Amino acid sequence: MKNPIAIAITFAMIATSVTVFAASETSTPTAAKALVFTPPNDEEIPNNEFGKIVRQGKNIFEDTQHYAKQYVGNSLNCVNCHLASGRKENSSPLWAAYVRYPAYRAKNNKVNTYEERIQGCFKYSLNGKAPAVDSPEMVALVTYSYWLATGAPVGAKLKGAGYPEVPKPGLIPDANRGKTVFVENCQVCHGSNGEGKKVDGKYIFPPLWGSESFNWGAGMHRINTAAAFIKANMPLSKGGTLTDQEAWDVATFVMSHERPQDPRFKGNVAQTKKEYHDENCRYGETVNGKVLGGKHQTAAK
């Protein structure tokens, strides 16, 4: 796997209908090359039974609140964190994810199918219930992802996959500095209390913390992951404008607020923190005299 041109030709021969070539930036000369891939346009969704399910999956992805409401426990939609209907590079796009599963995940210490990965986003990111693998909602989401990945080389690391990691900055990330970044760059859309903004009862800007946001078990609650998402995608349509330091600081500020309990919680914040949380999150820390994650420490009356 040394000659990028030879690799590109091999893939180009496999994937005749798409342009796939070696991208220029790679971390080390020996690392697997990231390949450029462009998903098909919506106009190319076929007008048949298959196309119908693809469109269903797209609808669920964009308006999960409406099309899969029985599985959602907050006010978010899939598209809030996977922008442009799951197409946007560096926003964990579906086409790049689809070809990389089954994959091992440290989070549950096993090889996960693509369906299991989506179930995770329902349970944590949407603070809801996981739809069964053979439910119409899951089938549609998988079908939509499969269609977006039409012609992509299976198993390949595609350019734009995931949220690109942001190196730890020079200063220890700080919520107070992060608050300034938030007030100047985020508050106008997400609200001074991170509550988001509704028009006609529908969120146009999603909530960043509080009961309507993702829970303490979601990938986004990890400061490194949030910094990565934010740096590449926020402020909306101005991705890449914050410095690494600002991205980490504002992520730290956002994650210094209360949100729904980690579903893996078994009655004790300290124990849950020890078992499931590391230095990249603030769960269990005391902020303004209150323990984060401690709101539901005692059973509701």
Give me 243's structure tokens.
């410095």
Q: CB 98 → ligand HEC: shortest distance, Å?
A: 7
Angle, in degrees to the nearest 10, between helices 223-233 and 244-254:
120
Residue 245 is a binding residue for ligand HEC (CB under 6 A): no
Q: Whole-angstrom Cα distance, residue 298 to residue 126?
A: 23
Q: Which CB atom, from 12 or from 117, has the smaller least distance to ligand HEC?
A: 117
CB of 254 to ligand HEC, least distance (A): 6
**Ramachandran bin of 61, using left for φ above 0, alpha for ψ from -120 to 50, beta for the remaining angles:** alpha
| d(C-alpha 27, C-alpha 5), whole Å | 17
Q: Which is nearer to ligand HEC, 29 or 104 (CB)?
A: 104
Does 53 contact ligand HEC by CB under 6 A?
no
Considering CB under 6 A, how many residues would be counted as binding ligand HEC? 48
Q: 160 Cβ partners below 8 Å, 6+ apart?
A: 88, 89, 90, 93, 96
- In whole angstroms, the minimum distance from the beta carbon of 5 to ligand HEC comes to 27
H or E segment to which residue 231 belongs? helix 223-233
Can you tell me which of 39, 162, 260, 284 binds ligand HEC, judged by CB under 6 A?
162
For residue 126, state whether it binds ligand HEC (rule: CB under 6 A): yes
Does residue 262 contact residue 216 with C-beta atoms inside 8 Å? yes
Q: Which of 56, 90, 92, 245 binds ligand HEC (CB under 6 A)?
A: 92
Of 25 and 299, the one with the shorter C-beta distance to ligand HEC is: 25
Tell me the closest approach of the beta carbon of residue 64 to ligand HEC, in angstroms.
Answer: 5
Q: 41 or 237: whose CB is closer to ligand HEC?
A: 237
Strand partners of residue 34: none
Stretch that binds ligand HEC, among 31-39, 44-52, 115-123, 288-296 (CB under 6 A): 115-123
Q: Is 189 in the site for ligand HEC (CB under 6 A)?
A: yes
* DSSP state letters, 149-203: TTTPPTT--BTT-S-------SSPP-HHHHHHHHHHHTHHHH-TTS--EEETTEE
Structure tokens at 194: 């991170």
Q: In the bound complex, what is the minimum distance in angstroms from residue 25's beta carbon to ligand HEC?
A: 17
- Window of 4-12, 32-40, 199-207, 266-274 that interacts with ligand HEC by CB under 6 A: 199-207
Residue 57 binds ligand HEC (CB under 6 A): no
Distances from the Cα of 53 to the Cα of 2, 141, 142, angstroms: 40, 8, 9
Of the CA atoms within 13 Å of residue 260, those in its CB half-sphere come to: 23
Give the residues lining the site for ligand HEC (CB under 6 A): 61, 64, 76, 78-83, 92, 94, 96-97, 100, 117-118, 121-122, 125-126, 141, 161-163, 185-186, 188-190, 205-208, 213-214, 218-220, 225-226, 229-230, 234-236, 242, 250, 254
